[in-house]
Amino acid sequence: MTKISRRRMLGGAVLLGAGATGLPILAACGDDNGGGDGGGGGGSLRFAWWGNPDRDARTNSAVRLWSEKTGRNVGTEPANWQDYWDAMTTQLAGNNPPDLMQQDYQYLKEYVENGALLALDDYVPDPLNTSQIPEDTVNSGRFDGALYAISMGYNTFALVSNQGVLADAGEEQPDDTITWSEFFDLAVRIGEKTPDGVFGSENAMNAMEPFECWLRQRGKELYTADGQLAFDAADVEEWFNYWMEMIEAGGCPSTEADAESTGALEDRGVPKRTGAFDFHWSNVITAFYDLTEDPIGVSMYPQGDSPGSPNGQYYKASMYLAVPSGASDPEAAVDLMSALIFDPEIASELGFERGIPAAGPVREALEPDLSESERLSLEFVERLEGQVGPVPPPPPGAHGQIYEQFTYYSEEAGFGNLSVADAAAQFYDEANRLLEA
Amino acid sequence: MVTETRPPGPVDRAEERARAARMRRARRRERRPVFLFMGPWFFGLFALTAGPILASLYFSFTDYNLLGSPSWSGLDNYAGLLDDVHYRNSLRVTFIYVVVSVPLATAAALLVAVMLSGNRRGIGVYRSTYYLPSLLGGSVAIAVLWRQIFGAEGLVNQVLAATGLDRVIALVFDVEPGTSWIGNPKYALNTLIILNIWQFGAPMVIFLAGIKQIPQDLLESAAVDGAGRVQRFFRVTMPLLSPLIFFNLVLGMISAFKAFTPAFVVSGGRGGPADSTLFYTLHLYATAFRFRDMGAASAMAWIMLVIIAVFTAGMFLTARYWVYYGDQVKLR
């Protein structure tokens, strides 16, 4: 008898507990002002980012340094890219956001337009000394004149190569002048001269980043400043055809092999020694270094075939930090943000993992003890200085969904369910429909 | 309310009434803590279950991106689904999954239950072994394992290559050796169907219990009348088990409509390749959290409710033609 009643008590306690956690969420649902509790004080801060184990370790140790300095506790909430955005939208909808969050160029505009982020202008220049960062980079976090996010570092497109595979095929690391048609021939040659299952290139048919670079080389963009498509269906068709022919010629893996891959770094051809080239961002160089024994090479994405076309590269401000407008203690959040971006001692804990640090003094503090991969990455990005083009306008909110359509229609074409022309046309219509909605 | 055993006389009527009132008061007093103790459960029901359900009904008529506040949009979400090629794909994939995997899983459960119904030595070990997959099956670990088994260099292809069966399959079914079963949209859904069939443990246990209930004399008299094993199964066992078959089909169907985890893990959350494993729930989840269109996702959830209700009702309608309960007499 006593046993049963105790179990009931426990059950009741669990339900009460569940109810209690539900309560603030529900209470907050009705609150449209997004005020947060405003209590602040000495409580714990929450800092959320997306990343990988390496980034999580580096970020945690940087945050620990800040905690020791200021005596404030920080609860860190790392997640992978996809789970991170699911969690952020849910927390924002429940008016329970972290105090400091990592942001991406892809989502910034939408968050700002929905009033989810705090304007940071009151905190410039103290503690946010933005003069240490190139003006273009700062402005990429500015919307309608107000500053909402600051970039931690920047990247650029990088054609990363496994030089071991290149050597096996008797080929040389190309320089920045290789064109798309030369790259096609090179990839096919590597495919022929290496054993089955080893390819010249990664299959990038469904990847919008190299497609963007390829568009920029033709004087186009993915989107206009007002969020419309800035290319034609014919461009998509030509892009799909380039890769369909590459698959056919044995220069890159089939659509089927590509569909099976999870896309995780360790699953890609270059670190697995099954591919000579991969289309990626420059900050990935250090990760590839850790994953393979082979030497890694890097160059710009292939160039446009018509002479004199721009190289399509730009400096992408890679990871932003922003303070949600519902943060419980914005002052402290901005202070932590400032430490992670500007404080040479704390920010250097992060290394090059989030790209080349945006702030000059942080870069200088890191320079003396760079690892080989970090030096390669830094040299590549610095080599492009003066050659990169303007930063494209921020993508519209539907970009994530449009990207998935791009992947879907490239698969429809790749598996032969649709002709390349139909797939390109249907993608184009679908993308326009999503932008109108 | 109070049942009287004898007609009350005029004398003790007042006393009766007083006693009844006392009883009522006492009962009410007892009831108070009952509601107190049930309170948390009711709170949970309304705040955590009924509340969100009603909220989703409201959201389904709004444009709601989770960041801003919802704005009324009438039937736009429902109309928009008609234009969505992925929504149609997800319906097709889910229907195929339900229609193929549920009958097969039920049949497998019945077959294995019949095989394990005897009283041989070590039968308990066999039963546990066959039940095991359904304990593991819904888990992420198994779905990850499935990727390994059905990948291009997975276990299936290695076995096929080692036995030379891959060339036979290539000839008969026109499948190239070394095909990635999860990377090819023609076969990816089949691997998930196999995963579902493999988890026949729960219905199997129910069938086992049902088989034990079948009166031995019926089977014996059928045997005396000259019925063989197969005839006894189809003429005696199957009809007597038909209520359980029905029960398992309905439950299996509902859970197959709601399947999420295996497709999410095997396809890396995308339902690919080319939407071939885009389960309804997967598309719903992506719409809600990845595309931040909670309005459309809520509309999808309510349509799913209607679909499941219609299918379940349909099965109940067919049931009277093939489900026999013990107390019914069937005349031919």
| Cβ contact A412–B51 (<8 Å) | no
Residue A77 clears pLDDT 80, i.e. is over it: yes
Determine contact: B107 vs chain A, CB below 8 A: no
Of A12, A92, A415, nearest to B67 by CB-CB distance is A92
- State the residue for tokens 């107390």: B327
The one-character DSSP state at A303 is B
Contacts across the A-B interface (CB distance below 8 Å): 104
**Mind spelling out the 3-state secondary structure of A325-370?**
CCCCCHHHHHHHHHHHHHCHHHHHHHCCCCCEECCHHHHHHHHHHC
Cβ proximity of A167 and A292 under 8 Å: no
Phi, psi of A6 (to 5 degrees): -70, -40
Query: E strand or H helix at A47, and its extent?
Result: strand A45-50
CB within 8 Å: A256 and B184: yes
* Cα–Cα nearest to A357, from A388, A381, A383: A381
ipTM: 0.75
Between CA A191 and CA A276 the distance in angstroms is 9
Q: Do A114 and B292 touch (CB under 8 A)?
A: no
Q: Is A12 in contact with B40 (Cβ distance < 8 A)?
A: yes
Long-range own/partner contacts, residues B184-188 (CB < 8 A, 24 or more apart): B184/A256, B184/A259, B184/A415, B184/B273, B185/A259, B185/A411, B185/A415, B185/A417, B185/B272, B185/B273, B185/B274, B185/B275, B185/B276, B186/B276, B188/B266, B188/B267, B188/B272, B188/B273, B188/B276, B188/B277
Contact yes or no for B292 and A407 at CB 8 A: no
- Kindly identify which residue of chain B lies nearest to residue A397, measuring between CA atoms: B291
Distance CA B105, CA B249 (A): 9
* Confidence label for A37 from pLDDT (cuts 50, 70 and 90): very low
Residue A153's closest CA among A282, A33, A246? Answer: A282
φ, ψ for residue B50 (rounded to 5)? -65, -40
Interface contact flag, B272 A92, Cβ < 8 Å: no
Q: Are B274 and A437 an interchain contact pair (Cβ–Cβ within 8 Å)?
A: no
Beta strands in B37-136, from DSSP E residues, in sequence order: 62-63, 71-72
Q: What is the CATH number of domain A157-313+398-436?
A: 3.40.190.10
B37, B41, B46, B292, best to mutate vs chain A, most A CBs in 10 Å: B292
Peptide bond into A295 cis (omega under 30): no
pLDDT (average), residues A154-180 = 89
Q: Of residues A177 and B32, which shows the higher confidence score?
A: A177
Banded model confidence at residue A268, pLDDT cuts 50, 70, 90: confident
Interface check for A23 against chain B (CB to CB < 8 A): the answer is: yes
Contact at 8 Å (CB) between A304 and A179? yes
Preceding peptide of A395 cis, ω within 30°: no
Q: Do B48 and A258 touch (CB under 8 A)?
A: no
pLDDT at residue A64, rounded to an integer: 92
**What residue type is assigned to position A435 of the chain?**
L
Q: Give the per-residue pLDDT at B6.
A: 57
> How far is it, in rounded angstroms, from Cα B310 to Cα B290?
29
pLDDT value of residue B11: 58
pLDDT band at A421 (very low <50, low <70, confident <90, very high): very high
Best A408, A422, A426, A434 member to test B by mutation, with max B CBs in 10 Å, is A408
CA of B182, closest CA in chain A: separation in Å?
Answer: 6
Q: Distance between CA atoms of A48 and A230, rounded to whole angstroms?
A: 33
Q: Which residue ranges of chain B lie beneath pLDDT 70?
A: 1-11, 137-138, 326-332
Whether B66 sits inside 8 A of A15 (CB atoms) is no
Q: What is the pLDDT of residues B95-142, one digit of tens each?
A: 999 999 999 999 999 988 888 887 777 788 888 888 887 777 667 777
pLDDT bin (cut points 50, 70, 90) of residue A4 is very low
How far apart CA B136 and CA B193 sit, in angstroms, is 16
Smallest Cβ–Cβ distance between B43 and the set A19, A404, A417 belongs to: A19
Q: Tell me the whole-structure pTM to 2 decimals.
A: 0.80
Among chain B residues, the shortest Cα distance to A431 is held by B84
Handedness of CA B192, B195, B201, B204 (dihedral sign): positive
Write down the pLDDT at residue B141.
78
- The 10s digit of each residue's pLDDT in A296-318 is 899 999 998 888 888 999 988 87
CA distances (Å), B86 to each of A260, A433, B77, B254, in order? 20, 13, 14, 22
Q: Is the minimum CB–CB distance between B68 and chain A shorter than 8 Å?
A: yes
- Residue B216 host element (H or E): helix B216-224
- The span from the CA of A353 to the CA of B149, in Å, is 34
Q: Is A210 exposed, middle or buried (0-12, 13-18, 19+ CB in 10 A)?
A: buried
CB-based contact (8 Å) between B33 and chain A?
no
Q: How many Å apart are CA B256 and CA A220, to the nearest integer?
A: 46
The residues in B 159-198 lying below 8 A from A, measured between CB atoms, are 179-180, 182-185
> Is the dihedral angle over the CA atoms A128, A130, A132, A134 positive or is it negative?
positive
Q: How far is the alpha carbon of B306 from chain A, nearest alpha carbon, in Å? A: 26
> At which residue do the structure tokens 């959320």 appear?
A48
Contact A256 B273 (CB under 8 A): yes
- What is the DSSP track for A197-227? T-EEE---TT-HHHHHHHHHTTT--SB-TTS
Tell me if B97 sits within 8 A of B254, measured CB to CB: no
Q: What is the pLDDT of residue B328?
A: 56
Domain A45-155+317-383 falls in which CATH fold?
D-Maltodextrin-Binding Protein; domain 2 (3.40.190)
Task: Tell me how close the Cα of B141 comes to any Cα of chain A, in angstroms.
Answer: 16
Residue A26 pLDDT exceeds 70: no
DSSP A49-87: EE--HHHHHHHHHHHHHHHHHH---EEEEEE-HHHHHHH
User: Which residue from B41, B80, B270 is facing A15, i.e. has the nearest CB?
Assistant: B41
Percent of chain A predicted with pLDDT > 70: 90
The CATH 3.40.190.10 portion of chain A extends over 45-155+317-383, 157-313+398-436
Q: How close A418 gets to chain B, by Cα (Å)?
A: 11
Chain B CB contacts of A408 under 8 Å are 86, 272, 274-275
Using CB atoms, pick whichever of B40, B80, B291 lies closest to residue A15.
Answer: B40
Distance CA A362, CA A123 (A): 20
Best of A256, A403, A407 to substitute, by most chain B Cβ atoms within 10 angstroms, is A256
Task: Tell me the C-alpha distance between A118 and A198, whole Å.
Answer: 49
Residue A6: band (very low, low, confident or very high) from pLDDT cuts 50, 70, 90: very low
Looking at residue B5, what is its pLDDT? 57
Type of residue at A73: N
Q: φ and ψ at A273, to 5 degrees?
A: 65, 25
Query: Are the Cβ atoms of B40 and A115 closer than 8 angstroms?
Result: no
In chain B, residues with a C-beta closer than 8 Å to the C-beta of A82 are 269, 290
What Cα–Cα distance (Å) separates residue A73 from each residue in A66, A67, A348, A414? 9, 6, 20, 51
- Are the C-beta atoms of residues A236 and A412 closer than 8 Å to each other? no
CA dihedral sign of residues B8, B9, B15, B17: positive
Chain B contact for A400, CB < 8 A? yes
Pairing of strands A275-281, A199-201: parallel
Helix (H) or strand (E) holding B323: none
Whether residue A262 lies within 8 A of chain B, CB to CB, comes out as yes
Q: Residue A282's closest CA among A266, A270, A299, A268?
A: A299
**Residues written for chain A:** 437
Q: Residue B8's pLDDT is what?
A: 54
Question: In the predicted model, what is the mean pLDDT of residues A236-264?
Answer: 88
Shortest alpha-carbon distance between residue A377 and chain B (Å): 30
The answer to whether the Cβ–Cβ distance between A259 and B274 falls below 8 Å is yes
C-alpha B160/C-alpha B171 separation (Å) is 13
For residue B48, which residues of chain A lie inside 8 Å, CB to CB? 18-19, 22
- Phi then psi for A299, rounded to 5 degrees? -150, 180
pLDDT in tens, B263-276: 887 777 777 788 88
Query: Helix (H, G, I), strand (E, B), or coil: what is residue A93?
Result: helix
pLDDT (0 to 100) of residue B138: 64
Distance CA A200, CA A275 (A): 6
Looking at the predicted structure, is the pLDDT value of residue A7 above 70?
A: no
Chain B residues with CB under 8 Å of A404 CB are 270, 286, 290
- DSSP-derived pairing of the beta strands A100-103 and A45-50: parallel
| Residue ranges of domains in chain B, CATH in brackets | 1-53 (no CATH), 76-322 (1.10.3720.10)
Q: A42 CA to chain B: closest CA distance, Å?
A: 28
Q: Which helix (H) or strand (E) holds A142?
A: strand A142-143
Flag if A19 and B274 touch (Cβ within 8 Å).
Answer: no
Q: Does A26 touch chain B (CB under 8 A)?
A: yes
Answer whether B51 touches A (CB < 8 Å): yes
Question: Between B44, B180, B289, which is nearest A18 by CB?
Answer: B44
- Are the C-beta atoms of residues A260 and A430 closer than 8 Å to each other? no
Alpha-carbon torsion (A122, A128, A129, A134), positive or negative: negative
Tokens of A246: 């590459």
> How far is it, in rounded angstroms, from Cα B236 to Cα B210?
12
Residue B152 and residue B145 in contact, taking contact as beta carbons nearer than 8 Å: no
Chain B contact set for A411 (CB, 8 A) = 185, 272-274
In this complex, do A400 and B151 lie within 8 Å of one another by their Cβ atoms? no
Report which of B78, B123, B277, B290 is spatially closest to residue B186, judged by C-alpha positions. B277
Q: Mark yes or no for CB contact B185/A417 under 8 Å.
A: yes
Which residue of chain A is at minimal alpha-carbon distance from B296?
A437
Residues of B within 8 A of A257 (CB-CB) are 152, 180, 183
- What pLDDT sits at residue A15? 39
Instruction: State whether B272 and A408 contact (CB < 8 Å).
Output: yes
Cα dihedral A296, A300, A305, A310 in deg (nearest 10): 180
CB contact (8 A) between residue B180 and residue A86? no
